Amino acid sequence: MSGATARSNAPLLGGGNGEALVFTDNPEICDTVARIIDTGAVQRVTVLEGGIAAALEAPIPDAPVTIVDISSSPDPVTDVAMLSEVAKGRIVGMGPVNDVSFYRTLIAAGASDYLVIPPTDDMLIDALTPPKVEVEAEETEDCRIISVVGARGGVGSTTVSVNMAWHLAHHFGQRTGLVDLDLHFGTCALSLDLLPGRGLRDALDNPERIDPLFIASAMVNESENLFILGGEEPLEAKSELNAYAIDPLISALRANFSALVFDMPKSVAISHPALIQESMGVLLVTDFSLAGMRDVLRLKSFVKDFCPDTKTEIAAISAKDKRGSLTQRDFEKGIEGKVDYVIPFDSKLATEAANGGKAISALAGGGKSIGKVIASITDSLGGELDKVETKKKAWWKK
Protein backbone atom coordinates (compact mmCIF):
# COMPACT_ATOMS: atom_id res chain seq x y z
CA MET A 1 0.00 0.00 0.00
CA SER A 2 1.45 3.35 -1.02
CA GLY A 3 1.42 6.17 1.52
CA ALA A 4 -0.17 4.16 4.33
CA THR A 5 0.80 1.18 6.42
CA ALA A 6 -1.25 -1.91 7.16
CA ARG A 7 -0.24 -4.52 9.69
CA SER A 8 -1.94 -7.28 11.63
CA ASN A 9 -2.30 -6.96 15.39
CA ALA A 10 0.11 -4.03 15.34
CA PRO A 11 0.49 -1.64 18.25
CA LEU A 12 -1.28 1.65 17.79
CA LEU A 13 0.79 3.91 15.57
CA GLY A 14 0.64 7.56 14.73
CA GLY A 15 -1.86 8.72 17.32
CA GLY A 16 0.64 10.87 19.11
CA ASN A 17 1.91 12.69 16.02
CA GLY A 18 -1.34 13.70 14.41
CA GLU A 19 -1.95 10.72 12.14
CA ALA A 20 -5.47 9.54 11.43
CA LEU A 21 -6.13 5.84 11.99
CA VAL A 22 -8.17 3.40 9.92
CA PHE A 23 -8.93 -0.04 11.36
CA THR A 24 -10.23 -2.40 8.67
CA ASP A 25 -9.74 -5.79 7.04
CA ASN A 26 -11.51 -4.74 3.86
CA PRO A 27 -9.03 -4.68 0.94
CA GLU A 28 -11.28 -2.38 -1.08
CA ILE A 29 -11.19 0.24 1.67
CA CYS A 30 -7.43 -0.15 1.99
CA ASP A 31 -7.08 0.48 -1.73
CA THR A 32 -9.32 3.55 -1.50
CA VAL A 33 -7.25 5.00 1.35
CA ALA A 34 -4.04 4.38 -0.59
CA ARG A 35 -5.52 6.05 -3.67
CA ILE A 36 -6.61 9.24 -1.92
CA ILE A 37 -3.22 9.46 -0.21
CA ASP A 38 -1.45 9.11 -3.57
CA THR A 39 -3.55 11.94 -5.01
CA GLY A 40 -2.60 14.18 -2.08
CA ALA A 41 -6.18 14.55 -0.87
CA VAL A 42 -5.22 13.37 2.63
CA GLN A 43 -1.96 12.80 4.46
CA ARG A 44 -0.70 11.19 7.66
CA VAL A 45 -2.94 8.13 7.72
CA THR A 46 -2.11 4.76 9.25
CA VAL A 47 -4.16 1.69 8.30
CA LEU A 48 -4.31 -1.20 10.78
CA GLU A 49 -6.01 -4.55 10.39
CA GLY A 50 -8.62 -5.93 12.73
CA GLY A 51 -11.56 -3.56 12.61
CA ILE A 52 -13.09 -2.17 15.78
CA ALA A 53 -11.97 -5.20 17.81
CA ALA A 54 -8.34 -4.24 17.16
CA ALA A 55 -9.06 -0.61 18.00
CA LEU A 56 -10.50 -1.64 21.37
CA GLU A 57 -7.42 -3.74 22.16
CA ALA A 58 -4.94 -1.07 21.12
CA PRO A 59 -3.47 1.52 23.50
CA ILE A 60 -5.63 4.59 24.00
CA PRO A 61 -5.78 6.27 20.59
CA ASP A 62 -4.71 9.90 20.48
CA ALA A 63 -5.49 10.43 16.81
CA PRO A 64 -7.56 13.36 15.50
CA VAL A 65 -9.87 10.81 13.85
CA THR A 66 -10.19 7.03 14.16
CA ILE A 67 -12.16 5.21 11.45
CA VAL A 68 -13.26 1.73 12.50
CA ASP A 69 -14.82 -1.04 10.42
CA ILE A 70 -17.70 -2.47 12.47
CA SER A 71 -18.77 -5.09 9.92
CA SER A 72 -17.67 -8.08 11.98
CA SER A 73 -18.75 -6.74 15.37
CA PRO A 74 -21.63 -8.66 17.02
CA ASP A 75 -22.57 -5.51 18.99
CA PRO A 76 -21.25 -2.47 17.11
CA VAL A 77 -23.17 0.11 19.17
CA THR A 78 -21.63 -1.11 22.44
CA ASP A 79 -18.19 -1.33 20.85
CA VAL A 80 -18.41 2.24 19.56
CA ALA A 81 -19.58 3.44 22.97
CA MET A 82 -16.59 1.71 24.61
CA LEU A 83 -14.18 3.21 22.10
CA SER A 84 -15.65 6.68 22.60
CA GLU A 85 -14.79 6.48 26.28
CA VAL A 86 -11.05 6.33 25.52
CA ALA A 87 -10.58 7.91 22.09
CA LYS A 88 -9.45 11.52 22.22
CA GLY A 89 -10.54 12.45 18.70
CA ARG A 90 -13.48 11.81 16.42
CA ILE A 91 -14.72 8.27 15.80
CA VAL A 92 -16.15 7.33 12.41
CA GLY A 93 -17.81 3.95 11.97
CA MET A 94 -18.00 1.99 8.73
CA GLY A 95 -20.39 -0.87 8.12
CA PRO A 96 -22.80 -2.55 5.71
CA VAL A 97 -26.03 -1.37 7.37
CA ASN A 98 -27.76 1.42 5.45
CA ASP A 99 -30.44 2.50 7.89
CA VAL A 100 -31.19 5.93 9.38
CA SER A 101 -32.19 4.61 12.80
CA PHE A 102 -28.95 2.61 13.04
CA TYR A 103 -27.00 5.72 12.07
CA ARG A 104 -28.72 7.75 14.79
CA THR A 105 -28.09 5.04 17.38
CA LEU A 106 -24.40 4.91 16.47
CA ILE A 107 -24.11 8.70 16.72
CA ALA A 108 -25.77 8.58 20.13
CA ALA A 109 -23.22 5.95 21.19
CA GLY A 110 -20.37 8.36 20.50
CA ALA A 111 -19.54 8.22 16.79
CA SER A 112 -19.09 11.49 14.92
CA ASP A 113 -20.19 9.95 11.62
CA TYR A 114 -21.04 6.65 9.94
CA LEU A 115 -20.10 5.52 6.42
CA VAL A 116 -21.86 2.77 4.52
CA ILE A 117 -19.42 0.29 2.96
CA PRO A 118 -18.09 0.72 0.34
CA PRO A 119 -17.43 4.42 1.00
CA THR A 120 -16.58 6.68 -1.92
CA ASP A 121 -13.31 8.56 -2.17
CA ASP A 122 -15.03 11.82 -1.22
CA MET A 123 -16.68 10.24 1.83
CA LEU A 124 -13.33 8.99 3.14
CA ILE A 125 -11.64 12.30 2.38
CA ASP A 126 -14.32 14.16 4.38
CA ALA A 127 -14.02 11.67 7.24
CA LEU A 128 -10.22 11.87 7.37
CA THR A 129 -10.00 15.63 7.01
CA PRO A 130 -10.17 17.55 10.31
CA PRO A 131 -13.06 20.01 10.49
CA LYS A 132 -12.01 23.44 9.32
CA VAL A 133 -12.45 26.02 12.04
CA GLU A 134 -12.48 29.61 10.87
CA VAL A 135 -11.41 31.92 13.67
CA GLU A 136 -11.29 35.68 13.27
CA ALA A 137 -10.28 38.04 16.04
CA GLU A 138 -13.39 40.15 15.76
CA GLU A 139 -15.64 37.10 16.16
CA THR A 140 -14.58 36.67 19.77
CA GLU A 141 -15.30 40.30 20.51
CA ASP A 142 -18.62 40.39 18.70
CA CYS A 143 -20.08 37.12 19.98
CA ARG A 144 -23.45 37.76 21.59
CA ILE A 145 -24.20 35.57 24.61
CA ILE A 146 -27.73 35.33 25.98
CA SER A 147 -28.55 33.27 29.06
CA VAL A 148 -32.10 32.01 29.53
CA VAL A 149 -33.01 30.97 33.07
CA GLY A 150 -36.33 29.46 34.12
CA ALA A 151 -37.63 30.76 37.42
CA ARG A 152 -39.31 27.41 37.93
CA GLY A 153 -39.19 24.05 36.20
CA GLY A 154 -41.65 23.60 33.37
CA VAL A 155 -42.39 27.27 32.71
CA GLY A 156 -41.08 27.08 29.13
CA SER A 157 -37.50 28.38 29.34
CA THR A 158 -36.21 25.66 27.00
CA THR A 159 -38.89 26.48 24.43
CA VAL A 160 -37.85 30.12 24.60
CA SER A 161 -34.15 29.21 24.34
CA VAL A 162 -34.70 26.98 21.31
CA ASN A 163 -36.79 29.59 19.52
CA MET A 164 -34.37 32.42 20.31
CA ALA A 165 -31.50 30.37 18.90
CA TRP A 166 -33.61 29.46 15.87
CA HIS A 167 -34.39 33.15 15.25
CA LEU A 168 -30.73 34.12 15.57
CA ALA A 169 -29.74 31.45 13.06
CA HIS A 170 -32.59 31.64 10.55
CA HIS A 171 -33.95 35.19 10.71
CA PHE A 172 -30.83 37.10 11.68
CA GLY A 173 -28.29 34.96 9.80
CA GLN A 174 -26.05 34.48 12.85
CA ARG A 175 -23.89 31.41 13.29
CA THR A 176 -25.47 30.31 16.54
CA GLY A 177 -24.61 27.85 19.28
CA LEU A 178 -27.37 26.60 21.59
CA VAL A 179 -25.85 25.21 24.80
CA ASP A 180 -28.07 23.00 26.99
CA LEU A 181 -26.66 23.05 30.52
CA ASP A 182 -29.16 20.60 31.96
CA LEU A 183 -26.86 17.60 31.73
CA HIS A 184 -29.42 14.98 32.78
CA PHE A 185 -32.78 16.17 31.46
CA GLY A 186 -31.99 18.79 28.84
CA THR A 187 -34.35 18.81 25.87
CA CYS A 188 -32.93 21.40 23.46
CA ALA A 189 -31.74 18.77 20.98
CA LEU A 190 -34.89 16.70 21.47
CA SER A 191 -37.02 19.76 20.70
CA LEU A 192 -35.37 19.91 17.28
CA ASP A 193 -35.58 16.14 16.67
CA LEU A 194 -31.85 15.67 17.17
CA LEU A 195 -29.76 13.35 19.30
CA PRO A 196 -27.40 15.26 21.61
CA GLY A 197 -23.72 14.53 21.25
CA ARG A 198 -21.64 12.98 24.01
CA GLY A 199 -18.87 15.56 24.14
CA LEU A 200 -20.19 18.06 26.69
CA ARG A 201 -19.67 15.77 29.67
CA ASP A 202 -16.19 14.87 28.40
CA ALA A 203 -15.34 18.54 27.92
CA LEU A 204 -16.47 19.42 31.43
CA ASP A 205 -14.52 16.51 32.93
CA ASN A 206 -11.37 17.27 30.93
CA PRO A 207 -11.08 21.05 30.50
CA GLU A 208 -7.53 20.71 29.20
CA ARG A 209 -8.94 19.08 26.07
CA ILE A 210 -11.32 21.90 25.23
CA ASP A 211 -10.52 23.73 22.01
CA PRO A 212 -12.58 24.83 18.99
CA LEU A 213 -11.97 21.53 17.18
CA PHE A 214 -13.05 19.46 20.17
CA ILE A 215 -16.21 21.53 20.58
CA ALA A 216 -16.93 21.10 16.86
CA SER A 217 -16.91 17.33 17.18
CA ALA A 218 -19.17 17.48 20.25
CA MET A 219 -21.97 19.50 18.66
CA VAL A 220 -24.85 18.51 16.39
CA ASN A 221 -26.30 20.81 13.78
CA GLU A 222 -29.91 21.61 13.01
CA SER A 223 -28.94 23.63 9.94
CA GLU A 224 -26.00 25.44 8.40
CA ASN A 225 -26.22 28.12 11.09
CA LEU A 226 -27.60 26.43 14.21
CA PHE A 227 -25.56 24.01 16.35
CA ILE A 228 -26.50 22.37 19.64
CA LEU A 229 -24.24 21.31 22.52
CA GLY A 230 -25.84 19.18 25.20
CA GLY A 231 -26.14 15.68 26.60
CA GLU A 232 -28.30 13.06 28.24
CA GLU A 233 -26.13 11.85 31.09
CA PRO A 234 -26.94 8.67 33.04
CA LEU A 235 -28.88 9.51 36.17
CA GLU A 236 -26.18 7.99 38.35
CA ALA A 237 -23.54 10.28 36.81
CA LYS A 238 -22.51 13.42 38.63
CA SER A 239 -24.30 16.55 37.46
CA GLU A 240 -21.96 19.27 38.73
CA LEU A 241 -20.28 21.55 36.22
CA ASN A 242 -16.53 21.74 36.56
CA ALA A 243 -15.79 25.37 37.35
CA TYR A 244 -12.35 25.04 35.75
CA ALA A 245 -13.99 24.10 32.44
CA ILE A 246 -16.17 27.19 32.15
CA ASP A 247 -13.54 29.63 30.87
CA PRO A 248 -12.07 27.34 28.17
CA LEU A 249 -15.56 26.23 27.14
CA ILE A 250 -16.78 29.79 26.66
CA SER A 251 -13.55 30.79 24.91
CA ALA A 252 -13.86 27.91 22.44
CA LEU A 253 -17.51 28.73 21.77
CA ARG A 254 -16.84 32.45 21.40
CA ALA A 255 -14.14 31.77 18.83
CA ASN A 256 -16.56 30.00 16.51
CA PHE A 257 -19.97 31.59 16.89
CA SER A 258 -21.54 34.95 16.30
CA ALA A 259 -24.20 34.22 18.91
CA LEU A 260 -24.67 31.84 21.83
CA VAL A 261 -27.80 30.96 23.76
CA PHE A 262 -27.38 29.21 27.11
CA ASP A 263 -30.40 27.25 28.31
CA MET A 264 -29.45 27.40 31.96
CA PRO A 265 -31.16 25.73 34.94
CA LYS A 266 -31.37 28.16 37.83
CA SER A 267 -29.24 25.83 39.97
CA VAL A 268 -26.43 26.20 37.42
CA ALA A 269 -26.84 29.98 37.30
CA ILE A 270 -26.60 30.19 41.09
CA SER A 271 -23.63 27.81 41.34
CA HIS A 272 -21.70 29.39 38.46
CA PRO A 273 -22.39 33.13 38.23
CA ALA A 274 -19.36 33.37 35.92
CA LEU A 275 -21.66 32.08 33.16
CA ILE A 276 -24.03 35.00 33.77
CA GLN A 277 -21.14 37.45 33.86
CA GLU A 278 -20.15 36.41 30.34
CA SER A 279 -23.64 37.17 29.04
CA MET A 280 -24.70 40.25 27.14
CA GLY A 281 -28.21 39.70 28.46
CA VAL A 282 -30.15 37.47 30.82
CA LEU A 283 -33.76 36.45 30.30
CA LEU A 284 -35.72 35.19 33.30
CA VAL A 285 -38.68 33.08 32.16
CA THR A 286 -41.65 32.58 34.45
CA ASP A 287 -45.37 32.02 34.67
CA PHE A 288 -47.75 34.26 36.59
CA SER A 289 -47.80 32.01 39.66
CA LEU A 290 -47.04 33.04 43.22
CA ALA A 291 -43.98 30.77 43.26
CA GLY A 292 -42.85 32.27 39.98
CA MET A 293 -43.15 35.76 41.45
CA ARG A 294 -41.04 34.78 44.46
CA ASP A 295 -38.32 33.12 42.39
CA VAL A 296 -38.12 35.89 39.79
CA LEU A 297 -37.62 38.41 42.58
CA ARG A 298 -34.81 36.34 44.08
CA LEU A 299 -33.12 35.62 40.76
CA LYS A 300 -33.35 39.23 39.66
CA SER A 301 -31.65 40.28 42.88
CA PHE A 302 -29.00 37.57 42.42
CA VAL A 303 -28.11 38.71 38.91
CA LYS A 304 -27.98 42.32 40.03
CA ASP A 305 -25.61 41.50 42.88
CA PHE A 306 -23.18 39.38 40.85
CA CYS A 307 -23.55 40.99 37.43
CA PRO A 308 -24.70 44.60 37.90
CA ASP A 309 -23.83 45.54 34.32
CA THR A 310 -25.70 42.65 32.68
CA LYS A 311 -28.99 43.53 31.06
CA THR A 312 -31.79 41.49 32.63
CA GLU A 313 -35.32 41.13 31.28
CA ILE A 314 -38.35 39.11 32.30
CA ALA A 315 -40.65 37.10 30.05
CA ALA A 316 -43.85 35.56 31.35
CA ILE A 317 -45.70 32.73 29.65
CA SER A 318 -49.40 33.53 29.60
CA ALA A 319 -51.62 30.44 29.58
CA LYS A 320 -55.28 30.51 28.56
CA ASP A 321 -56.23 28.85 31.82
CA LYS A 322 -55.84 31.66 34.35
CA ARG A 323 -56.80 29.59 37.38
CA GLY A 324 -54.18 29.88 40.10
CA SER A 325 -52.44 32.73 38.29
CA LEU A 326 -51.80 36.24 39.53
CA THR A 327 -52.77 39.21 37.43
CA GLN A 328 -49.91 40.86 35.63
CA ARG A 329 -50.36 43.95 37.79
CA ASP A 330 -50.10 41.99 41.04
CA PHE A 331 -47.18 39.99 39.69
CA GLU A 332 -45.27 43.14 38.76
CA LYS A 333 -45.99 44.63 42.16
CA GLY A 334 -44.53 41.52 43.78
CA ILE A 335 -41.32 41.52 41.71
CA GLU A 336 -40.92 45.26 42.14
CA GLY A 337 -40.63 45.84 38.43
CA LYS A 338 -42.11 45.30 35.01
CA VAL A 339 -42.64 42.14 33.01
CA ASP A 340 -40.88 43.02 29.79
CA TYR A 341 -42.58 40.42 27.58
CA VAL A 342 -45.73 38.35 27.75
CA ILE A 343 -45.50 35.28 25.52
CA PRO A 344 -48.88 33.82 24.53
CA PHE A 345 -49.08 30.09 25.10
CA ASP A 346 -50.73 28.09 22.33
CA SER A 347 -51.07 24.46 23.40
CA LYS A 348 -52.04 23.28 19.92
CA LEU A 349 -49.05 24.98 18.34
CA ALA A 350 -46.70 23.76 21.07
CA THR A 351 -47.90 20.18 20.59
CA GLU A 352 -47.47 20.41 16.82
CA ALA A 353 -43.92 21.75 17.24
CA ALA A 354 -43.01 19.09 19.79
CA ASN A 355 -44.36 16.24 17.68
CA GLY A 356 -42.61 17.57 14.59
CA GLY A 357 -39.30 18.30 16.30
CA LYS A 358 -39.32 21.90 15.10
CA ALA A 359 -39.06 25.36 16.57
CA ILE A 360 -42.51 26.90 16.90
CA SER A 361 -41.57 29.73 14.56
CA ALA A 362 -40.42 27.23 11.92
CA LEU A 363 -43.92 25.87 11.44
CA ALA A 364 -45.55 26.97 8.21
CA GLY A 365 -47.95 29.77 9.00
CA GLY A 366 -47.63 29.15 12.73
CA GLY A 367 -46.14 30.96 15.68
CA LYS A 368 -46.61 34.42 14.19
CA SER A 369 -47.51 36.15 17.44
CA ILE A 370 -45.06 34.06 19.46
CA GLY A 371 -42.41 34.60 16.81
CA LYS A 372 -42.77 38.37 17.03
CA VAL A 373 -42.27 38.33 20.79
CA ILE A 374 -39.26 35.99 20.53
CA ALA A 375 -37.74 38.18 17.83
CA SER A 376 -38.20 41.27 20.03
CA ILE A 377 -36.53 39.54 22.97
CA THR A 378 -33.66 38.36 20.80
CA ASP A 379 -33.16 41.80 19.30
CA SER A 380 -33.22 43.47 22.72
CA LEU A 381 -30.87 41.10 24.55
CA GLY A 382 -28.59 40.37 21.62
CA GLY A 383 -28.13 43.94 20.49
CA GLU A 384 -29.49 45.51 17.34
CA LEU A 385 -29.74 42.80 14.68
CA ASP A 386 -30.76 43.00 11.05
CA LYS A 387 -32.50 40.19 9.25
CA VAL A 388 -29.74 39.15 6.89
CA GLU A 389 -28.58 36.12 5.01
CA THR A 390 -25.91 33.87 6.50
CA LYS A 391 -22.73 35.87 6.95
CA LYS A 392 -20.38 32.93 7.33
CA LYS A 393 -20.56 29.47 5.89
CA ALA A 394 -20.71 26.42 8.09
CA TRP A 395 -17.43 25.84 9.91
CA TRP A 396 -17.46 22.08 9.57
CA LYS A 397 -19.35 19.60 7.50
CA LYS A 398 -21.91 17.36 9.19
CA separation for the pair 228, 240 (Å, rounded): 20
Domain range holding 233?
A: 137-381
CA separation for the pair 251, 206 (Å, rounded): 15
pLDDT of res. 348: 78
Residue 133 clears pLDDT 60, i.e. is over it: no
CA separation for the pair 336, 227 (Å, rounded): 37
Q: Based on the domain organization, do 365 and 257 belong to the same domain? A: yes
User: What distances in angstroms separate CA 25 from CA 47, 52, 69, 70, one per listed residue?
Assistant: 9, 10, 8, 10
Q: Based on the domain organization, do 85 and 39 belong to the same domain? A: yes
**How confident is the model over 293-348, as pLDDT tens digits?**
999 999 999 998 888 888 999 999 887 666 668 899 999 999 999 999 998 877 77
Q: Are the CB atoms for 282 and 266 separated by under 8 Å?
A: no
Compute the residue count for the chain. Answer: 398
Q: What are phi and psi of 21, to 5 degrees?
A: -120, 140
User: Per residue, what are the HEC states of 46-66?
Assistant: EEECCHHHHHHHCCCCCCCEE
DSSP 182-214: -TTT--HHHHTT----SHHHHHHH-GGG-SHHH
Q: Based on the domain organization, do 92 and 168 belong to the same domain? A: no
**How confident is the model over 116-126, as pLDDT tens digits?**
888 888 888 88
Q: Say which CATH number the domain at 201 has.
A: 3.40.50.300
Range among 156-160, 241-245, 246-250, 356-360 rated most confident: 156-160
**How confident is the model over 3-49, as pLDDT tens digits?**
344 333 333 333 334 578 899 999 989 988 888 888 777 777 888 88
pLDDT of res. 260: 94
Q: How confident is the model at residue 130 (pLDDT cuts 50, 70, 90)?
A: low
CA separation for the pair 330, 324 (Å, rounded): 13
**Half-sphere exposure in the Cβ direction for 147 (13 Å, CA):** 27
- Whether residue 210 lies inside any domain: the answer is yes
Q: Based on the domain organization, do 217 and 328 belong to the same domain? A: yes
Q: Based on the domain organization, do 229 and 357 belong to the same domain? A: yes
Burial 316-329, CB ≥16 within 10 A → b, else e? bbbbeeeeebbeee
- Whether residue 104 lies inside any domain: the answer is yes
Amino acid symbol at 141: E
SS3 232: coil
CA separation for the pair 369, 346 (Å, rounded): 10
